[in-house]
């Protein structure tokens, strides 16, 4: 009897030791993601973590793609990224991931800039610097389509987002595809022209907080804390009162701009300040249709993994249904926690 009691005690201690109470999320500089820094600095993330008895560390990663790679390798439990990059990096790598928070969609925050030329058609024959195989690459493809061109009409040079502004300032670089705040910086340089941006493909470049699906299932408190914190942060930012101005001024400085510059970035972003706004897109047919377009581009460029037979190889689950293989779902748009925020259940 004593031996059995000791065995049960050891099992319980082992189970307790394996349970986690500390988590890490990462973000990179972008108008829709810098609010996490404000939430950390103001103690909002800690407040919500404390509510659920956990710890959440919020970490900035300077290189966007590197942040996603680190998430995919398990270094972080959640990470900010676009819908396309969520599909082509963690999901394509076999990491089952969930869009916990649909934060906004780019409505002009991603764009293509030409030096010395002022129309998209002028890009033909040029070398384009961008973060290869990222959403900027997708934007380039969509921009080329708009003027009857294809990627065969340009040459792409892979360039880190951390180097983009400096590279564009050199005489030999005449075309870039990038995102804000980098986009605003290059577009403001002499003889530079914004010739195509994401406002021409509304709702296709969606900015998300992606969380590991297994981690979310095991620790729903993490999903509740992150979602609750996010909408409190959004409440601070929304509007024109002193609190909102202070929040946006903090974020502007962090983004390397001033309040007017940050307001300009917000103006080209369809921010979802409330869960109702986020759910309107998440629950729509558009997300499924967009992910089909994204998956087709990704398969064409070999981004769905070695041996992927087609664009439907990876299943993407949305409230409107599954696009792709329902037996290989690796990306999920789950409205559960945003709905809980709307219903006051967090």
Q: How far apart are alpha carbons 159 and 131 in whole angstroms?
A: 5
Average pLDDT, the chain: 92
Do 131 and 230 lie in one domain? The reply is no
Give the total number of structural domains in the chain: 2
- 11 pLDDT above the threshold of 60: no
Looking at the domain assignment, is residue 3 inside a domain? no
Look at residues 200, 231, 251 and tell me which one is the last residue of a structural domain: 200
Q: How confident is the model at residue 240 (pLDDT cuts 50, 70, 90)?
A: confident
Q: Which residue has better confidence, 301 or 289?
A: 289
Looking at the domain assignment, is residue 87 inside a domain? yes
The 10s digit of each residue's pLDDT in 71-88 is 999 999 999 999 999 999
pLDDT at residue 2, as a whole number: 39
Looking at the domain assignment, is residue 10 inside a domain? no
Q: How far apart are alpha carbons 128 and 164 in whole angstroms?
A: 11
Token couple for 15: 């189970």
DSSP secondary structure letter of residue 272: -
Torsion of the alpha carbons at 60, 43, 336 and 330, rounded to the nearest 10: 20
CATH number of the structural domain spanning residue 79: 3.40.190.10
Do 100 and 181 lie in one domain? The reply is no
pLDDT at residue 307, as a whole number: 82
Q: In what order do the strands lie in the sheet with 155-158?
A: 155-158, 127-130, 175-179, 110-115, 192-197
Look at residues 200, 231, 259 and tell me which one is the last residue of a structural domain: 200
Mean pLDDT over residues 182-202, rounded?
A: 95
Helices in the chain by DSSP H: which ranges?
2-18, 35-41, 44-51, 64-72, 83-86, 135-146, 164-168, 182-187, 213-218, 220-237, 242-254, 259-267, 275-282, 285-300, 336-342
Do 332 and 318 lie in one domain? The reply is yes
Token couple for 29: 């500089």
Looking at the domain assignment, is residue 11 inside a domain? no
pTM: 0.85
Do residues 198 and 290 make contact, with C-beta atoms less than 8 angstroms apart? no
pLDDT at residue 86, as a whole number: 97
What separation, in Å, do the N-terminal and C-terminal C-alpha atoms of the chain show? Answer: 44
Task: Report percent pLDDT > 70 for the chain.
Answer: 95
pLDDT at residue 181, as a whole number: 83
The 10s digit of each residue's pLDDT in 80-137 is 999 999 999 999 999 999 999 999 999 998 999 999 999 999 999 999 999 987 889 9
Q: How far apart are alpha carbons 260 and 266 in whole angstroms?
A: 10
Q: How confident is the model at residue 18 (pLDDT cuts 50, 70, 90)?
A: low
The 10s digit of each residue's pLDDT in 30-87 is 999 999 999 999 999 999 999 999 999 999 999 888 999 999 999 999 999 999 999 9
Do 92 and 119 lie in one domain? The reply is no
Range of the domain at 161: 110-200
- 5 pLDDT above the threshold of 70: no
Token couple for 289: 């249709």
pLDDT at residue 17, as a whole number: 41
pLDDT at residue 15, as a whole number: 41
- 161 pLDDT above the threshold of 70: yes
Backbone angles phi, psi at 119, to 5 degrees: -140, 150
Q: How far apart are alpha carbons 337 and 211 in whole angstroms?
A: 12
């Amino acid at each position: 009897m004593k031996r059995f009691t000791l065995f049960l005690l050891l099992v319980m201690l082992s189970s307790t030791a394996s349970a986690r109470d500390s988590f890490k999320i990462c973000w990179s500089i972008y108008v829709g993601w810098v609010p996490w820094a404000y939430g950390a600095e103001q103690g909002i993330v800690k407040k919500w973590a404390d509510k659920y008895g956990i710890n959440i560390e919020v970490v900035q990663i300077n290189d966007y793609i590197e942040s996603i790679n680190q998430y995919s390798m398990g270094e972080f439990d959640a990470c900010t990224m676009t819908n396309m990059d969520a599909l082509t990096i963690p999901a394509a790598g076999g990491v089952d991931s969930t869009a916990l928070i649909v934060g906004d969609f780019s409505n002009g925050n991603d764009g293509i800039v030409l030096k010395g030329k002022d129309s998209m058609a002028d890009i033909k024959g040029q070398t384009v610097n961008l973060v290869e195989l990222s959403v900027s690459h997708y934007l380039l493809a969509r921009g080329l389509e708009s003027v009857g061109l294809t990627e065969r009409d340009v040459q792409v040079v892979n360039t880190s987002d951390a180097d983009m502004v400096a590279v564009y300032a050199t005489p030999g670089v005449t075309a870039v595809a990038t995102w804000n705040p980098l986009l605003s910086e290059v577009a403001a340089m002499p003889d530079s022209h914004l010739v195509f941006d994401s406002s021409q493909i509304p709702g296709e470049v969606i900015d998300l907080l992606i969380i590991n699906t297994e981690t979310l299932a095991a620790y729903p408190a993490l999903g509740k804390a992150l979602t609750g914190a996010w909408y409190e942060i959004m409440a601070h930012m929304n509007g024109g009162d002193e609190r909102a101005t202070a929040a946006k001024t903090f974020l502007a400085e962090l983004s390397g701009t001033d309040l007017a510059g940050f307001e300009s970035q917000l103006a080209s972003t369809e921010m979802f300040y409330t869960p109702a706004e986020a759910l309107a897109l998440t629950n729509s047919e558009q997300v499924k249709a967009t992910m089909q377009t994204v998956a087709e581009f990704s398969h064409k460029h070999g981004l769905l993994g070695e041996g992927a037979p087609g664009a439907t190889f990876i299943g993407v689950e949305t409230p409107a249904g599954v696009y792709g293989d329902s037996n290989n779902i690796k990306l999920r748009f789950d409205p559960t926690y945003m709905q809980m925020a709307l219903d006051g259940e967090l």
